[in-house]
Structure 1
Amino acid sequence: MNPDVCVVGAGIAGLVIAAETAAAGLRTVVFEHAAVSGGMLAARELEGMAVDAGAEAFATRTDAVPELVRRWDLPLEIVTPAPTGAWLVFGHGRHRRRAPLPAGSILGIPADPFAADVAPFGDPHAESEAPLPTDEPSLRDLVADRLGARIADVLVDTVTRGVYSRPAREVRLSQVQPQLWREAQARGSLTAAVAHLSTGQRLGSAVAGIRGGMWRLPIELEKAAGARGASFAHHTEVLSVTPKAEGVRVDVPKGSVTARAVVLATPGSASARLLGTSAPISAPVELAIARVRSPALDRHPVGTGALVATDAGLRAKALTHATAKWAWLAQAMSRSGGDHIVRLSARHPGPGLDDPRVVASEITAITGAEVDASEIVALHSQHWDAAASTGPGLQTPAGVHLAGAQVAGTGLASVIPHARALAAELIQTLALAPPPKENR
């Protein structure tokens, strides 16, 4: 029997849609090219320790992940990071500096641009903030016009590149922090909005994680979807998606199904291939995850990690000291030698962070702690194509829908609400429309 809903891709968006539609009584099938579900929420083993090879935290600007855990009663514990916060590295060579990100800031935008912890990044150019513009400019221009170019280019641009893989000149505040933009419009002031939203917020509270690793989330969500009737076909590449009078035909190597609705919950490049159009511009992700046996890192020299400004001239745009960030991981590592887990995110795709000598050099430059290549006891290099696209969206034919970062934007805080909204739309639409008669 043909399904009501065919989901292509078992990343978190595809899994959310599968769970929702199956629970609503719709026949749901999921095709996934990989051996396991999860997409960028994946685990890799470093000397016997399973660690996140994709996202290791989620933004708490929405309650998407906690609500997902509650909704499906997933056996997962949400945890908060250490309250030490992160640092920012800027300047080149002997002029390189390290400073904690300002307290009471969002996206690097300070609530008080004249605070002492903002001073290392540059002084604001005016005592009072200019009024908000009617037409929203880029995030970089929005901040520069009110707080000065130095704060925009050193603080905000570095955070935006590190978190969203996009320069501040290419995004708007309403895209990456819609709640902050709405609050700024209501108050007529960017800094007043930051002050309001960050009041009572402890360092590190903008993100949270899952005990044992974020990779556990898709495993448990797939179980929940399967228990409600969704079926999964792994190791299955979708060859084509073709609208027909009776539905949308999905061809796979061993046959085809015709679904009433198809959801492409895939990277933009894969969706473009299936739709027969050019792929949108994307920003791929390159990671190096290292197990480091170095006493120099015991003091957590840059707290839970650091974002790296472009003027620092380094390959990495960000470093996460995972064992400093997550108490559960530090406890697990203490039982197996007391090593550190350090993650580096590359600024540009290409070779380099797969070499222990390069990784040790980058860690040293970012943290100021001397780490030797011989202290890199295990190293995994990870490439992901599935970053959010930066170009115009894809056009879809009737019956075909898009989900995931390609349309929702970066991060679970955006992807999950979009997937739930799309699932609700599909459930309502398919419940109202009678299924077409199948060809005999």
Structure 2
Amino acid sequence: MKKHYDVIVVGARVAGSAFAYEMAKAGYEVLLLDKSTFPSDTLSTHNFYGNSLAMLREMGVLEALLATGTPTYKRAVVQFEDAVIDGFFPEVMGETECLCIRRTHLDAILFEHASAQERVTALEGFRVAELIEEDGKIVGVAGVYQNGERGQFRARLVVGADGRHSRVRHLAGSACLQAVPTDFASYVGYYSNYKQDGELHAELYKMGDKIAIVFPTSDRLYVVGVMFPLKDEEWMKRFKASPEEAMNRILRTGFAGSPLPERILHAELAMPIKGLLGYDNDWHQGMGPGWALVGDAITFKDPAVGQGMQDALYGARILTGVLSGFPDWDASWDEMASLYQARMEEKMMFHFHLACQYTKNAPFTEEQKLVNRLIASSPEATSSFLGIYNRAAGPQELEQAIHRLIPVQEAASGSSEPA
């Protein structure tokens, strides 16, 4: 195989395969590397909203993903203490459905799709150990094949799509620009025989100091995630001693007043519980001479907001657009880096800050409780609230919808004073 390319992409899951596809379509020669082989699993909530489905359709991969039998859904039920927000995601980019597909299906299909592009060379089972630097610029990678042999490849640009513990980011010396540590431990399990009322839907609960999320996923399973404070020593001990027993117990006892305890009582755990004990919501410098980052490598957000997968797709497109606008990369690293950072922040920073709010163990204020009840009382406000997640609406639309409800609430209470 060739040793020189326009771009080397390290990491071939969502961000890496999407970026390799986009760059090949833009006319660049791409080497796509991953230390794993596919199909393989990875810890993830793996949810796509409608805006992501639109991008997957444009990439030509959506039909293959749907052919796995993974169901789509368009309803969400969000319970914040006593406020139940129940509605449908608004249409965005022509799509109304959402898709939560297991990574064993998703990553293999995206990798195969990227590999099939004329200008993409794909290599599984190659672990990048070093970046090759010359004259202050990254010019390639050195690594190890699964059989132990060493190899090197060179390119005009090396892109790290290798996750929240990115080795490319570490070796390139990318600066961490923001970091907000979580207050929570997170555990995830896959369940069969989980029964919902009505049509399939996503569930999100925030009750006291605990959060739970539920999505219908592939293979007739539901993915269930729970978060509790890291400082809760009792629950930490329970999960370390017996994750399955602790998961079932916290879901049954920690979410009283919601349908979750009854639903999990009759469900069956299909595979071992996985945990994530502490992490940062972070944002890094995205580009430097000869290197760039996409996906979780540049910014990782709390999985409770479900934005990581679609931001991987957005980042792939944004980086491709920046690179395509500069014929001479070597003369433009600073300009490209500045433009890439600005476009990424414009697209994703609101949801990054939203994730930072979720990641802190802070009880709802009385004002927040009132706002939650107002949203729950109004189909318009509910649609705007859910539209924030699939980018069909922004915070201003939700604020306007809430403000329109305040006079109604005041009239109902018989008070002229703000609630």
Name the TM-score, length of structure 1 as normaliser. Answer: 0.55
Query: 1:2-41 to 2 correspondence within 5 Å?
Result: 2-36=4-38
Q: Residue 355 in 1 paired to residue 243 in 2? A: yes
Q: Residue 289 in 1 paired to residue 189 in 2? A: yes
Shift of 1:29: 1.0
Q: Which residue of 1 aligns with 2:154?
A: 258
Q: Which residue of 2 aligns with 1:390?
A: 281
Shift of 1:260: 0.6
Change (3 A) 1:100 1:237: same
Change (3 A) 1:278 1:420: closer
Contact persistence 1:37–1:222 (CA under 8 A): no
Contact persistence 1:359–1:373 (CA under 8 A): no
Which has the larger share of strand? 2
Measured in 2, the distance between the counterparts of 1:425 and 1:272 equals: 19
Contact persistence 2:53–2:99 (CA under 8 A): no
Shift of 1:13: 1.4
Q: Residue 407 in 1 paired to residue 298 in 2? A: yes
Q: Which residue of 2 aligns with 1:59?
A: 49
Higher relative contact order (Cα pairs below 8 Å, separated by 6+ residues): 1
Shift of 1:89: 5.1
Change (3 A) 1:378 1:65: closer
SS in structure 1 opposite 2:222? strand
Q: Partner amino acid for 2:9?
A: V
Q: Residue 429 in 1 paired to residue 326 in 2? A: yes
Contact persistence 1:86–1:302 (CA under 8 A): no
What per-residue deviation string (whole Å, max 9, x for no partner) do you get for residues 210-232 of structure 1?
6x646533322222221223222
Measured in 1, the distance between the counterparts of 2:138 and 2:174 equals: 21
Shift of 1:257: 1.7
* Corresponding pairs, count: 295
What per-residue deviation string (whole Å, max 9, x for no partner) do you get for residues 95-116 of structure 1?
xx5x421558x9xxxxxxxxxx
Q: Partner amino acid for 1:219?
A: A
Which has the larger share of helix? 2
Query: 1:76-95 to 2 correspondence within 5 Å?
Result: 76-77=65-66, 80-81=72-73, 83=75, 85-88=76-79, 90=81
SS in structure 2 opposite 1:239? strand
Change (3 A) 1:102 1:275: same
Q: Which residue of 1 aligns with 2:340?
A: none
Measured in 2, the distance between the counterparts of 1:372 and 1:26 equals: 49
SS in structure 2 opposite 1:86? strand
Measured in 2, the distance between the counterparts of 1:206 and 1:386 equals: 34
Shift of 1:58: 1.4
Unaligned runs of 5+ in 1: 44-52, 91-96, 107-197, 334-339, 435-440
Measured in 1, the distance between the counterparts of 2:238 and 2:80 equals: 20
Q: Which residue of 2 aligns with 1:418?
A: 315
Measured in 2, the distance between the counterparts of 1:376 and 1:360 equals: 10
Change (3 A) 1:227 1:377: closer
The partner residue of 2:123 within 233, 241, 244 is 233
Shift of 1:20: 2.2
Q: Partner amino acid for 1:413?
A: Q
Shift of 1:259: 1.0
SS in structure 1 opposite 2:127? coil
The partner residue of 1:345 within 226, 241, 246 is 226
SS in structure 1 opposite 2:272? strand
Q: Partner amino acid for 1:88?
A: Q
The partner residue of 1:319 within 206, 213, 216 is 213
Shift of 1:261: 0.7
SS in structure 1 opposite 2:165? helix
Measured in 2, the distance between the counterparts of 1:76 and 1:374 equals: 29
What per-residue deviation string (whole Å, max 9, x for no partner) do you get for residues 396-440 of structure 1?
431211111343663333221221121233345358889xxxxxx
What per-residue deviation string (whole Å, max 9, x for no partner) do you get for residues 40-88 of structure 1?
xx47xxxxxxxxx52342123xx343233333355233964164x3141
The partner residue of 2:105 within 216, 220, 225 is 216
Q: Which residue of 1 aligns with 2:59?
A: 71
Contact persistence 2:72–2:99 (CA under 8 A): yes
Contact persistence 1:241–1:249 (CA under 8 A): yes
Shift of 1:318: 1.4
Contact persistence 1:267–1:385 (CA under 8 A): no
SS in structure 2 opposite 1:261? strand
